[in-house]
Structure 1
């Protein structure tokens, strides 16, 4: 039985490297790609086109997409471009903007205003300080891993934060992986994201925002199960 490839997309500041421990533990095909968003002209639609082009270049057919955090804004464009090739969408503590809204529109009023101002005055990219990175992203990481996250964290540009996107796709099944120890996107805020997904299955992990680093075995097991389920559905059809 063949299984779709699980495409692993990272969130803000980090890169495909955060997924390596998950990918190597999965029993189904997995591919982690860098989201091409760190330049002034980036947009969700352009990032999606570049990612699909890379999948095509590699000869990847059907996929399960796992979008972590900021990468949630890419799901509508990826679904539109992939069509039937997208078998399942997984939102790992991901932001799901309201229909026609941007990432910032999923935040509170004060946060929205502050983020827009910060991007206005940081044209060369925006990056939080080490203390904030540790507080929000590294709560359950060992010191070596936390230090790597801090040192590797890259500045982000406004495209994925401020560009409106379509509503979350409803033509494919989806799962939301809710992280119980997340300080960057707390569980109560994750619940607001889940409410924007139609009939999404919800699974929980007792982990912080970078669960792929703190609990790679658990994340890999969950994602393998989803991919296997997609393969079984195809065989039954």
Structure 2
């Protein structure tokens, strides 16, 4: 039986429950399900392993991939909990012993409480109209000044302009802008209703109207990427804060 993933909201935390017998063929669909959880930008993602039985241990790499993405963006804590005995043995030895593992949901919540801090976040809904780029720049500028990051006003404004303009040009849907302040990065994310992946303009796909587009984002941001979300996608970029 293929693994399927149930997801429920626990306040501002998402709890994902992969169910079935984990094989290598399940890695990609399970990864996509977990990345969609991260695209919701929850305060934490808890992964319930109680009903996941591992048939091919190499498939556990799906959780390493998920944690690696979470660390890059959106900085969401990810904890695994409640594995069956054999799965627990696999997770506490070898290549997977660095994965954060708790005995049960209560223990996972306790670990979150020990390390959780309030993350400054600004959210804004945007129309698919040209004026939204100017409004998005104003939102990002206000955020940078409010959080005492004047040196990031220019690059953040450039990035948000390109992300919003790209969504206007190609998605033609409502957008949700989210600006958040992490320990090391200022993160900018734009969610739209199109499932089409963003494609940086290049010689093989010229875009006279947009010109530099996402290539400009790539050159300015320390990291950028995109994740599928429910009913669309999130395109994100991160700028490193000065120490």
TM-score for both structures, normalised by structure 2 = 0.28
Q: Which has the higher strand share?
A: 2
Which is greater in Rg? 2
Q: Which has the higher helix share?
A: 1
